Amino acid sequence: MFAKACHPAHRARVNNAADAFTKQICEVIVGKADAVKLAVACLLARGHLLIEDIPGVGKTTLSQALARSLGLAFQRIQFTSDLLPADILGNSIFDRELQQFVFHRGPLFSQVVLIDEVNRATAKTQSALLEAMEEDHISADGVTHELPQPFFVIATQNPQHQIGTFPLPESQLDRFLMRIELGVPDRASERAMLLGMDRRAMLKELKPVFTPETLLEIQTAVRQVHASGALLDYLQDLLDASRQRHSAGLSPRAGLALLHAAQAWALMHDREMVLPEDIQAVGVSVMAHRLGHDLDQPGLSGRTLADALLHSVPVP
Protein backbone atom coordinates (compact mmCIF):
# COMPACT_ATOMS: atom_id res chain seq x y z
CA MET A 1 0.00 0.00 0.00
CA PHE A 2 2.94 2.34 0.59
CA ALA A 3 6.23 2.71 -1.15
CA LYS A 4 5.51 1.18 -4.49
CA ALA A 5 7.77 3.59 -6.29
CA CYS A 6 10.28 1.31 -7.99
CA HIS A 7 8.57 -1.07 -10.35
CA PRO A 8 10.89 -3.28 -12.27
CA ALA A 9 8.78 -4.83 -15.00
CA HIS A 10 9.45 -8.40 -14.10
CA ARG A 11 8.53 -7.82 -10.49
CA ALA A 12 5.06 -6.93 -11.61
CA ARG A 13 4.86 -10.13 -13.64
CA VAL A 14 6.12 -12.19 -10.75
CA ASN A 15 3.64 -10.52 -8.50
CA ASN A 16 0.74 -11.22 -10.86
CA ALA A 17 1.65 -14.89 -11.00
CA ALA A 18 1.75 -15.10 -7.22
CA ASP A 19 -1.61 -13.33 -7.03
CA ALA A 20 -3.20 -15.73 -9.47
CA PHE A 21 -1.85 -18.64 -7.48
CA THR A 22 -3.34 -17.34 -4.24
CA LYS A 23 -6.63 -16.58 -5.88
CA GLN A 24 -7.00 -20.07 -7.26
CA ILE A 25 -6.43 -21.70 -3.91
CA CYS A 26 -8.80 -19.32 -2.20
CA GLU A 27 -11.54 -20.56 -4.47
CA VAL A 28 -11.14 -24.01 -3.02
CA ILE A 29 -10.50 -23.07 0.60
CA VAL A 30 -13.21 -20.56 1.34
CA GLY A 31 -12.85 -17.85 4.00
CA LYS A 32 -9.30 -18.69 4.93
CA ALA A 33 -7.49 -16.06 2.89
CA ASP A 34 -4.94 -15.32 5.60
CA ALA A 35 -3.92 -18.93 6.12
CA VAL A 36 -3.73 -19.47 2.39
CA LYS A 37 -1.55 -16.43 1.89
CA LEU A 38 0.81 -17.63 4.57
CA ALA A 39 0.98 -21.05 2.97
CA VAL A 40 1.78 -19.49 -0.40
CA ALA A 41 4.43 -17.28 1.17
CA CYS A 42 6.00 -20.35 2.72
CA LEU A 43 6.25 -22.15 -0.62
CA LEU A 44 7.54 -19.05 -2.42
CA ALA A 45 10.24 -18.78 0.24
CA ARG A 46 11.28 -22.36 -0.58
CA GLY A 47 10.16 -23.64 2.78
CA HIS A 48 8.42 -26.75 4.00
CA LEU A 49 4.95 -26.23 5.38
CA LEU A 50 3.24 -27.78 8.36
CA ILE A 51 -0.52 -27.48 8.70
CA GLU A 52 -1.87 -28.27 12.14
CA ASP A 53 -5.50 -28.52 13.07
CA ILE A 54 -8.30 -30.79 14.16
CA PRO A 55 -9.52 -33.28 11.53
CA GLY A 56 -12.05 -32.11 9.01
CA VAL A 57 -11.22 -28.44 8.54
CA GLY A 58 -9.59 -28.89 5.16
CA LYS A 59 -5.94 -29.52 5.85
CA THR A 60 -5.60 -32.15 3.20
CA THR A 61 -7.66 -30.17 0.75
CA LEU A 62 -5.40 -27.18 1.17
CA SER A 63 -2.27 -29.21 0.76
CA GLN A 64 -3.60 -30.90 -2.34
CA ALA A 65 -4.72 -27.61 -3.82
CA LEU A 66 -1.29 -26.17 -3.24
CA ALA A 67 0.43 -29.16 -4.80
CA ARG A 68 -1.76 -29.25 -7.87
CA SER A 69 -1.57 -25.52 -8.47
CA LEU A 70 2.20 -25.55 -8.26
CA GLY A 71 2.28 -27.63 -11.38
CA LEU A 72 4.77 -30.08 -9.95
CA ALA A 73 4.71 -33.85 -9.64
CA PHE A 74 3.31 -34.81 -6.28
CA GLN A 75 2.89 -37.86 -4.07
CA ARG A 76 0.76 -38.35 -1.01
CA ILE A 77 1.86 -40.43 1.95
CA GLN A 78 -0.41 -41.25 4.84
CA PHE A 79 1.67 -41.64 7.97
CA THR A 80 0.70 -44.36 10.44
CA SER A 81 2.34 -45.72 13.53
CA ASP A 82 3.57 -48.84 11.72
CA LEU A 83 5.10 -46.98 8.80
CA LEU A 84 8.82 -47.71 8.38
CA PRO A 85 11.50 -45.54 6.77
CA ALA A 86 11.81 -47.92 3.86
CA ASP A 87 8.16 -47.38 3.08
CA ILE A 88 8.78 -43.74 2.24
CA LEU A 89 12.40 -43.80 1.06
CA GLY A 90 12.32 -46.93 -1.06
CA ASN A 91 13.76 -50.46 -1.02
CA SER A 92 16.66 -52.33 -2.60
CA ILE A 93 15.25 -55.41 -4.25
CA PHE A 94 17.28 -58.19 -5.86
CA ASP A 95 16.79 -58.26 -9.60
CA ARG A 96 17.19 -61.73 -11.00
CA GLU A 97 17.92 -60.67 -14.53
CA LEU A 98 20.56 -58.16 -13.58
CA GLN A 99 21.83 -60.35 -10.74
CA GLN A 100 22.12 -57.38 -8.39
CA PHE A 101 20.17 -55.26 -5.97
CA VAL A 102 18.24 -52.42 -7.55
CA PHE A 103 16.94 -49.47 -5.58
CA HIS A 104 13.25 -48.92 -6.01
CA ARG A 105 12.40 -45.33 -5.20
CA GLY A 106 9.78 -44.67 -2.56
CA PRO A 107 7.05 -42.04 -2.62
CA LEU A 108 9.42 -39.43 -1.22
CA PHE A 109 10.97 -39.08 -4.67
CA SER A 110 8.62 -36.41 -5.85
CA GLN A 111 8.73 -32.63 -6.20
CA VAL A 112 5.90 -32.12 -3.77
CA VAL A 113 5.31 -34.62 -1.00
CA LEU A 114 2.05 -34.41 0.91
CA ILE A 115 2.37 -36.08 4.25
CA ASP A 116 -0.89 -36.62 6.03
CA GLU A 117 -0.86 -36.86 9.79
CA VAL A 118 2.89 -36.61 10.06
CA ASN A 119 2.79 -37.04 13.81
CA ARG A 120 1.24 -40.48 13.65
CA ALA A 121 4.53 -42.03 12.57
CA THR A 122 7.17 -43.18 15.03
CA ALA A 123 10.36 -41.26 15.68
CA LYS A 124 12.30 -43.55 13.35
CA THR A 125 10.27 -42.65 10.32
CA GLN A 126 10.10 -39.02 11.25
CA SER A 127 13.88 -38.83 11.40
CA ALA A 128 14.12 -40.37 7.95
CA LEU A 129 12.25 -37.30 6.78
CA LEU A 130 14.77 -35.02 8.48
CA GLU A 131 17.59 -35.63 6.06
CA ALA A 132 15.34 -35.31 3.07
CA MET A 133 13.94 -31.97 4.22
CA GLU A 134 17.22 -30.35 5.10
CA GLU A 135 19.69 -31.81 2.62
CA ASP A 136 17.43 -32.51 -0.36
CA HIS A 137 18.82 -36.03 -0.61
CA ILE A 138 18.38 -39.31 1.21
CA SER A 139 20.64 -42.18 2.16
CA ALA A 140 19.56 -45.77 1.80
CA ASP A 141 21.83 -48.83 2.06
CA GLY A 142 24.84 -46.52 2.22
CA VAL A 143 24.05 -44.83 -1.08
CA THR A 144 23.02 -41.23 -1.37
CA HIS A 145 20.13 -40.49 -3.71
CA GLU A 146 19.40 -36.95 -4.85
CA LEU A 147 15.80 -35.85 -4.57
CA PRO A 148 14.09 -34.08 -7.49
CA GLN A 149 14.13 -30.29 -7.52
CA PRO A 150 12.28 -28.25 -6.36
CA PHE A 151 11.38 -30.32 -3.31
CA PHE A 152 8.57 -29.36 -0.95
CA VAL A 153 7.15 -31.16 2.02
CA ILE A 154 3.63 -30.15 2.93
CA ALA A 155 2.66 -31.99 6.08
CA THR A 156 -0.52 -32.00 8.07
CA GLN A 157 -0.81 -32.99 11.67
CA ASN A 158 -3.41 -33.32 14.36
CA PRO A 159 -3.04 -31.40 17.61
CA GLN A 160 -0.81 -33.32 19.95
CA HIS A 161 -3.39 -34.09 22.58
CA GLN A 162 -5.15 -36.40 20.12
CA ILE A 163 -4.87 -40.13 20.65
CA GLY A 164 -2.13 -42.03 18.83
CA THR A 165 0.22 -39.16 18.02
CA PHE A 166 3.98 -38.89 18.50
CA PRO A 167 5.06 -35.28 18.99
CA LEU A 168 7.53 -34.17 16.33
CA PRO A 169 11.01 -33.59 17.77
CA GLU A 170 12.20 -30.00 17.92
CA SER A 171 14.83 -30.64 15.28
CA GLN A 172 12.10 -31.79 12.94
CA LEU A 173 9.84 -28.84 13.73
CA ASP A 174 12.67 -26.39 13.11
CA ARG A 175 12.89 -27.65 9.53
CA PHE A 176 9.38 -26.54 8.74
CA LEU A 177 9.53 -22.91 7.72
CA MET A 178 6.00 -22.27 8.92
CA ARG A 179 3.25 -23.93 10.83
CA ILE A 180 -0.21 -22.65 10.04
CA GLU A 181 -3.60 -23.40 11.51
CA LEU A 182 -6.85 -23.29 9.58
CA GLY A 183 -9.56 -23.27 12.20
CA VAL A 184 -13.26 -23.61 11.65
CA PRO A 185 -14.61 -21.35 8.89
CA ASP A 186 -16.96 -18.54 9.77
CA ARG A 187 -20.68 -18.94 9.22
CA ALA A 188 -20.90 -17.34 5.77
CA SER A 189 -17.93 -19.27 4.41
CA GLU A 190 -19.29 -22.51 5.76
CA ARG A 191 -22.60 -21.80 4.08
CA ALA A 192 -20.83 -21.12 0.78
CA MET A 193 -18.99 -24.40 1.14
CA LEU A 194 -22.15 -26.31 1.93
CA LEU A 195 -23.85 -24.86 -1.12
CA GLY A 196 -20.90 -25.04 -3.45
CA MET A 197 -19.33 -27.80 -5.49
CA ASP A 198 -17.77 -30.85 -4.01
CA ARG A 199 -14.24 -30.00 -2.97
CA ARG A 200 -12.81 -33.28 -4.25
CA ALA A 201 -14.22 -32.55 -7.67
CA MET A 202 -12.89 -29.02 -7.57
CA LEU A 203 -9.41 -30.31 -6.75
CA LYS A 204 -9.43 -32.47 -9.85
CA GLU A 205 -10.35 -29.42 -11.95
CA LEU A 206 -7.41 -27.38 -10.70
CA LYS A 207 -4.90 -26.44 -13.36
CA PRO A 208 -1.29 -25.58 -12.62
CA VAL A 209 -0.79 -21.82 -12.36
CA PHE A 210 2.98 -21.90 -12.77
CA THR A 211 5.41 -23.36 -15.12
CA PRO A 212 8.47 -24.63 -13.24
CA GLU A 213 10.41 -21.68 -14.70
CA THR A 214 7.96 -19.17 -13.28
CA LEU A 215 8.21 -20.79 -9.89
CA LEU A 216 12.00 -20.58 -10.05
CA GLU A 217 11.79 -16.94 -11.11
CA ILE A 218 9.50 -16.09 -8.23
CA GLN A 219 11.67 -17.89 -5.74
CA THR A 220 14.72 -16.00 -7.00
CA ALA A 221 12.84 -12.72 -6.81
CA VAL A 222 11.88 -13.45 -3.21
CA ARG A 223 15.49 -13.59 -2.11
CA GLN A 224 16.18 -10.30 -3.83
CA VAL A 225 13.62 -8.30 -1.88
CA HIS A 226 15.67 -5.76 0.01
CA ALA A 227 16.12 -6.07 3.75
CA SER A 228 17.71 -2.89 5.11
CA GLY A 229 19.96 -2.55 8.12
CA ALA A 230 17.11 -1.10 10.14
CA LEU A 231 14.97 -4.12 9.36
CA LEU A 232 17.71 -6.56 10.26
CA ASP A 233 18.12 -4.65 13.54
CA TYR A 234 14.49 -5.36 14.30
CA LEU A 235 14.84 -8.99 13.29
CA GLN A 236 17.85 -9.45 15.52
CA ASP A 237 16.13 -7.67 18.40
CA LEU A 238 13.38 -10.25 18.10
CA LEU A 239 15.87 -13.12 18.12
CA ASP A 240 17.75 -11.65 21.08
CA ALA A 241 14.55 -11.11 23.03
CA SER A 242 13.43 -14.69 22.42
CA ARG A 243 16.78 -15.96 23.65
CA GLN A 244 16.65 -13.83 26.77
CA ARG A 245 13.12 -14.79 27.65
CA HIS A 246 12.95 -18.45 26.77
CA SER A 247 15.14 -21.36 27.64
CA ALA A 248 15.04 -22.48 24.01
CA GLY A 249 15.15 -19.25 22.04
CA LEU A 250 15.02 -18.93 18.29
CA SER A 251 17.87 -20.54 16.38
CA PRO A 252 19.83 -18.79 13.63
CA ARG A 253 17.92 -21.00 11.21
CA ALA A 254 14.73 -19.55 12.61
CA GLY A 255 16.13 -16.08 11.94
CA LEU A 256 16.75 -17.00 8.31
CA ALA A 257 13.28 -18.52 8.06
CA LEU A 258 11.76 -15.33 9.41
CA LEU A 259 13.67 -13.23 6.91
CA HIS A 260 12.79 -15.40 3.88
CA ALA A 261 9.14 -15.65 4.83
CA ALA A 262 8.97 -11.87 5.31
CA GLN A 263 10.61 -11.37 1.91
CA ALA A 264 8.02 -13.59 0.29
CA TRP A 265 5.27 -11.74 2.11
CA ALA A 266 6.64 -8.40 0.93
CA LEU A 267 6.81 -9.63 -2.65
CA MET A 268 3.24 -10.88 -2.49
CA HIS A 269 2.25 -7.38 -1.43
CA ASP A 270 4.14 -5.88 -4.33
CA ARG A 271 6.90 -4.27 -2.32
CA GLU A 272 10.56 -4.08 -3.18
CA MET A 273 11.63 -3.99 0.44
CA VAL A 274 10.77 -5.79 3.65
CA LEU A 275 8.98 -3.80 6.34
CA PRO A 276 8.70 -4.65 10.03
CA GLU A 277 5.02 -5.31 9.30
CA ASP A 278 6.02 -8.19 7.02
CA ILE A 279 7.95 -9.80 9.82
CA GLN A 280 5.01 -9.29 12.13
CA ALA A 281 2.61 -10.79 9.60
CA VAL A 282 4.57 -14.02 9.21
CA GLY A 283 6.04 -13.92 12.70
CA VAL A 284 3.57 -16.08 14.56
CA SER A 285 3.53 -18.80 11.90
CA VAL A 286 7.31 -18.91 11.75
CA MET A 287 8.04 -18.65 15.47
CA ALA A 288 5.18 -20.40 17.25
CA HIS A 289 6.18 -24.02 16.58
CA ARG A 290 9.77 -23.20 17.47
CA LEU A 291 8.89 -21.58 20.78
CA GLY A 292 6.34 -24.14 21.92
CA HIS A 293 8.87 -26.11 23.91
CA ASP A 294 9.77 -23.60 26.57
CA LEU A 295 10.25 -25.68 29.69
CA ASP A 296 9.97 -22.61 31.89
CA GLN A 297 6.49 -21.82 30.64
CA PRO A 298 4.83 -25.18 30.03
CA GLY A 299 1.33 -23.77 30.21
CA LEU A 300 1.71 -21.30 27.37
CA SER A 301 1.38 -22.29 23.75
CA GLY A 302 3.99 -21.28 21.23
CA ARG A 303 1.41 -19.07 19.58
CA THR A 304 0.93 -17.06 22.78
CA LEU A 305 4.66 -16.71 23.30
CA ALA A 306 5.28 -15.60 19.72
CA ASP A 307 2.44 -13.13 19.93
CA ALA A 308 3.81 -11.71 23.18
CA LEU A 309 7.21 -11.36 21.56
CA LEU A 310 5.85 -9.42 18.61
CA HIS A 311 3.85 -7.17 20.88
CA SER A 312 6.72 -6.25 23.15
CA VAL A 313 9.90 -5.87 21.07
CA PRO A 314 10.02 -2.26 19.90
CA VAL A 315 10.47 -1.48 16.22
CA PRO A 316 13.75 0.46 16.11
Partner 1 sequence: MSTLRKIDTRIPRTPLLWLAAALVFTVPPMFGTLSPWVPALFLVTLALKFWMEPKGYRLRLALWKLILTTAALAAIFFSYGSLKGIEPGVSLIVVLMSLKMLEAHTAREFHVMVMVAWVLCLCGFFLAQDLSIALCLLIAFALLLVALLQFHRGPSRNTWWPPLRTAGILILQALPVIALLFLFFPRVSTGFRLLMTPSSSAAAGFSDRMSPGGIASLASSTEVAFRAEFPDGKIPRADVLYWRGVVMSAGAGMEWRARQAPAALSPSALRPPAGETTRQRITIEPHGEHWMFALDWPVQPPPGALLAPGNYLWSYQSIRKPRRYEVRSFAQHPDKNLRQRERDALLEVPPSISPRARELAQSWVAANADPRVIVISALQFFRAQGFRYSLSPGEYRKNDLDEFLFERRVGFCEHYAASFATLMRLAGVPARVVVGYLGGEYNEFGRFLLVRQSDTHAWCEVWLPEAGWTRVDPTSVVAPDRVNLGFDSFLERRGPSAETNTGAFARGWARQPIFTNLRLAWQTLNYTWDTRVLSFDAETQEAFVANVDLTKVPPLQLSVSVLLGAGALYALFVGGRHFRTRSREDRVKGLYEKFCRKAARRGAVREAWEGPAHFANRAMTLLPNESERIGRLIDAYLKLRYSAQVPAGVFEDLTREVGAFPRGKQ
Residues found near partner 1 in the complex (CB under 8 A):
1-3, 5-6, 226, 228-231, 241, 244, 272-277, 280, 310-316
Q: Could you tell me the smallest distance in angstroms from the CB atom of residue 229 to partner 1? A: 7
Q: Could you tell me the smallest distance in angstroms from the CB atom of residue 177 to partner 1? A: 21
Q: Could you tell me the smallest distance in angstroms from the CB atom of residue 8 to partner 1? A: 11
Compare residues 209 and 274 and give the one whose CB is closer to partner 1: 274
Compare residues 76 and 303 and give the one whose CB is closer to partner 1: 303
Compare residues 171 and 228 and give the one whose CB is closer to partner 1: 228
Compare residues 6 and 54 and give the one whose CB is closer to partner 1: 6
Q: Could you tell me the smallest distance in angstroms from the CB atom of residue 84 to partner 1? A: 47
Comparing C-alpha atoms, which of 129, 111, 110 is closest to residue 168?
A: 129
Compare residues 105 and 223 and give the one whose CB is closer to partner 1: 223
- Residue 11 burial by CB count (10 A; 0-12/13-18/19+): exposed, middle or buried? middle
Q: Could you tell me the smallest distance in angstroms from the CB atom of residue 183 to partner 1? A: 23
SS3 per-residue string spanning 216-239 = HHHHHHHHHCECCHHHHHHHHHHH
